[in-house]
Amino acid sequence: MENVISPRSGTSFTLKKGQYLKVIDPQGEQVSDIYCFNQSNKSEFLSSGRTLDYNEGIHFGKGSLLYSNQSNIMLEIVEDTVESHDFLLTPCSKDTFKHFYPDETPVPGCHGNLVSALSPYDIPEHFIGTTFNIFMNVKLDENGKISVLPPTSKAGDFTIFKAHMDLIVGLTACSAGESNNFSYKPINYVISDQN
């Protein structure tokens, strides 16, 4: 079953060890932020810093492993038609909207949407750190300056993750203009036992 996350919103679900999560960009140029927790210990969560360290790089694609703050593998990318993702930046939030889009009415952003979506699992807001930003196209120039460019994902592109432990997962359709070429689209996802 293909589930739909409406534009500028988020959802949550559990994923069993060994299950697959396919995240699809149905229209193209749309970012989706993912964050996850060990289902049996919510103090263990996705860690950008640990993952960058073990990955020895900031680029991710098929075969990449995403680690927890306790150095355990949470997710493995097993298929990927995009291979352009970001794991440097925090999810957009009311605060980042005020900073980057001072003329717009602030929306909850992926951070706020993750807080709401994960509330049934009693996840405290401050446990939600730097998300893995699927399809987000972040470039660094030779001086280390960050640019956020339109995603390279086309309609129907996808990334498939395999769970390496029982997880609570939060997933969004990103709300930030710059990240999505200034048009807000849905994100689809499929959970399955077989890839």
Output 24 or 89, the one with its CB closest to a copy of itself.
89
Q: Specify which residues 158 forms β-bridges with.
A: 24
Alpha-carbon gap, residue 161 to 113, rounded angstroms: 21
Matching residue, tokens 């640019």: 147
* Residue 91 · residue 128 · CB < 8 Å: yes
The C-alpha atoms of residue 31 and residue 123 are separated, in whole angstroms, by: 23
Q: Which is nearer to a copy of itself, 88 or 155 (CB)?
A: 88
Given the complex with a copy of itself, which of 20 and 33 has the nearer CB atom? 33
Question: How many C-beta neighbours within 10 Å does residue 40 have?
Answer: 9
Min separation Cβ 23 and a copy of itself, Å: 20
**Nearest distance, CB of residue 155 and a copy of itself, angstroms:** 26
Choice between 16 and 99, CB closer to a copy of itself: 99
Residues that bind a copy of itself (CB under 8 A): 43-45, 47-50, 52-54, 56-59, 69-71, 88-90, 93, 95-96, 99, 124-127, 129-130, 140, 143-146
Smallest separation, CB 91 to a copy of itself (Å): 8
CA distances 82 to 13, 94, 108, 154, Å, are 24, 28, 27, 9
CB of 171 to a copy of itself, least distance (A): 18
Q: Could you tell me which residues come within 8 angstroms of residue 162 by beta carbon, excluding any fewer than 6 positions away?
A: 18, 19, 20, 21, 75, 76, 78, 195
Q: How far is the CB of 48 from a copy of itself (least distance, A)?
A: 6
Q: Choose between 111 and 185: whose C-beta lies nearer to a copy of itself.
A: 111
